[in-house]
Amino acid sequence: MNVISQYAIPFAIIALVIYRRTRRSIGFQKLSVRRMRVRLIFFSIIALLLLALAATHPIMLVGYAAGIFGGLVLARYAARHFVTETRGDGLYYRTHIWIESTVLALFLGRIAYRFIEMGLSPAAMSNAAPDPAAIAKDPVTGAVLFIIIAYYFAYYLFVMRRASQLGSPS
């Protein structure tokens, strides 16, 4: 029973994140500047914490830099394909479906890879507890994480700037 709960809770959280992210990726979304500001603060705190922790593993900075570059490229492409629509209850926006799908696929692919890697590790075979610090030492995971952080950070800044230009009240 313990083994099932060890995987069920993270799986349920990941399934919820996937569901919410997929819902936000398809179709128009109501523009809420306040919600975007909260997300920007959240992404900033996570990025600063990860950068501070990278002092113990300098190779992570290479992955982080690659991720930031990739995220900014994706954000620029998404900004070029940004579409707005004014409805009775406010301003709605939509980004390019392939950009959102790419970000989601990177996220899901890396999580699946980490779960498979942890399942096939010698520690898993001997029923020992997996080392959660191993994720903090993997530059590829760091790169994927910073692609997501940089993409959403830059894209939300763009959307908020565009909202102020369009005169969105929220």
Does residue 13 belong to any structural domain of this protein?
Answer: no
Does residue 50 belong to any structural domain of this protein?
Answer: yes
Does residue 8 belong to any structural domain of this protein?
Answer: no
Does residue 41 belong to any structural domain of this protein?
Answer: yes
Q: What is the pTM of this model?
A: 0.78
Kindly give the confidence (pLDDT) of every residue in the chain, 170 residues in length, as a single tens digit, with 9 standing for 90 and above: 566 677 778 778 878 877 887 777 677 888 888 888 998 999 899 889 888 888 888 888 888 999 999 999 999 999 898 888 888 888 888 888 888 888 878 877 887 787 777 777 665 555 555 555 555 567 888 888 899 899 989 999 998 888 888 776 55
Number of structural domains found in the chain: 1
Does residue 15 belong to any structural domain of this protein?
Answer: no
Adjacent-strand bridge partners of 85: 92
Range of the domain at 44: 35-166
Does residue 6 belong to any structural domain of this protein?
Answer: no
Per-residue b or e along 94-125, where b marks 16 or more CB atoms closer than 10 Å to that residue's CB: bbbeebbebbbebbeebbeebeeebeeeeeee
HSE value, Cβ hemisphere, 13 Å, CA-based, for 70: 19
Rounded CA-CA distance 141/150 in Å is 14
Amino acid identity for residue 150 in this structure: A
Does residue 150 belong to any structural domain of this protein?
Answer: yes
Does residue 4 belong to any structural domain of this protein?
Answer: no
Give the pLDDT confidence score for residue 136 in this predicted structure. 57
